[in-house]
Chains A and B, each alone.
Chain A
């Protein structure tokens, strides 16, 4: 029984990856051939030469970087206040931050679509980034505030007593102690933005075409090899991040949860 559960667990994890890789390097693999007969790199080469694929990856990357930076800048002070201070209205602040995680992206995107069309942000990188920010910001705040809840402010007090300037304290103590959580929070924001389809579609309006948008179109009725290559490029960043932050993930795994 144990071995069956474990086998299934790894099958679920590995099978999609294996399939994407196999499909990316074959050509003319159709029903009823059980296995591909021709191995080639031309399919992959062709996809990589397609300016739309590279353009989509680049746009998605730029947006994800903007979103992570904005989330971090906005979340850091907020998380510090929530993690370290008791004050009136704390519950309300939590509630406001919690709301975007339950209001469906569909409704947010449809409303923002009207707003951004009116103020000229629809179809722009900044508009799409702002829309993504709504779904990343709560998770960034939650991740950082749980780190601040374990943070000992006395280190800062001590540095202050020893004559350190606020800037020195911030860079040499606060930032250093928070680095692991900051890295995790930034990566999560990056991944959530990178994988966002619906908000990009509704705000990008056909002008901002990221990799998930291309993948969705391909998956709605395209050639399996094209679909597989786009999927592979799409899951590459998440896979790398998981591999490199394995230890941290074990602690924060639940935080990323369902925003993909």
Chain B
């Protein structure tokens, strides 16, 4: 072929753009986390920010361990609930011939997180739509009687958001596995006298578990590192790690800025570790 370019040449533009921007952004992030802030002429490497964060004595660091616990709790709870619901939804969808339902699942997937969080606020806040209906039914008299479901101190609003929002992504993963399997297993089990529940428990669930677990880890990483949703549906204290990191990164106090950067790097490390485990699981499955 006379016009077949080298694959390296074809890949170069995309790879260079990503490598430069990603590399430079990580480079500056690490630099600032070590207290090197060129703009103010501070260029000696120090570990103050790391010490401040990990020992819980820094400006931002004082909240670090609480926020870490909060973020882990919210991410784990959301991931577990959405995985369970996704499994149910996928088992149901796999029995459906109707493509319209799958399409509806996709529609929910494409709904932006920001808009979904906004809708939850309007529905679930203490003077929101549900509170108004409760009042109309005579269950409550004033907004304060309605349970605090969003902007609460346990992260219920955030968990509510992700438990529902992540179902489609996970359900489609499970559905992919179920549809790729020959129907044989299920039929054989049925012929051998397995009940519906036994077929689900011993045939379907073991089949989809590796893929679901790999997907759930990705979802965990996403929730753990996202900013908008905990910022909108959470409160000032305790707050999620990304909210804490950004708050102090934008702080005029430059020491706090470095601590914000350290927290952001810790988030990145945790998410990368989780993603590696997820990838390894995926490989073993294949």
Contacts and interface: CB of A to CB of B under 8 A. Distances in A.
* SS of A interface (majority): helix
Nearest to A188: B110
Contact of B25 (A15, A107, A224): A107
B111 A238 contact: yes
Given A81-B11, A102-B221, A104-B267, A260 B112 contact: yes
B127 interface: yes
B27 interface: yes
Contacts of A77: 5, 9-11, 13-14
Interface string A30-72: 1111100000000000000000000000000000000000000
A78 B5 CA distance: 11
B54 interface: no
Interface in A129-186: 130-131, 133-134, 137-138, 141, 157, 160, 166
Contact of B271 (A103, A227, A242): A103
A10 B104 contact: yes
Chain A: interface size category: 35 or more
A100 B268 CA distance: 11
Interface in B243-283: 245-246, 249, 260-261, 264-265, 267-268, 271-272, 275
A5 B129 CA distance: 23
Given A5-B92, A219-B117, A34 B111 contact: no
* SS of B interface (majority): helix
10 contacts: A5-B92, A78-B14, A81-B10, A87-B8, A106-B267, A134-B21, A215-B114, A215-B115, A242-B106, A242-B107
Nearest to A82: B11
Given A78-B10, A107-B25, A257 B109 contact: yes
Nearest to B129: A19
Interface of B: 1, 3, 5, 7-11, 13-15, 17-19, 21-22, 24-29, 31-32, 38-39, 88-89, 92, 99, 101-119, 121-123, 127, 129, 131-133, 135-136, 143, 164, 169, 172-173, 176, 218-219, 221-222, 225-228, 231-232, 242, 245-246, 249, 260-261, 264-265, 267-268, 271-272, 275
A231 B118 CA distance: 8
Nearest to B106: A253
A232 B54 CA distance: 43
Contacts of B242: 104, 106
A73 B17 CA distance: 12
A242 B135 CA distance: 37
A62 B232 CA distance: 27
A257 B227 contact: no
A28 interface: no
Question: Which 7 A-B pairs give the minimum distances between C-beta atoms?
Answer: A111-B25, A104-B225, A16-B119, A34-B136, A81-B7, A77-B10, A32-B135
A197 interface: yes
A126 interface: no
B135 A31 contact: yes
A141 B14 contact: yes
Nearest to A2: B92
B235 to A, nearest CB: 12
A93 B11 contact: yes
A96 B15 contact: yes
Contact of B14 (A13, A97, A220, A246): A97
B114 A114 contact: no
B7 A87 contact: yes
Interface in A212-258: 212, 215-216, 219-220, 224, 227-228, 231, 234-235, 238, 241-242, 246, 249-250, 253-254, 256-258
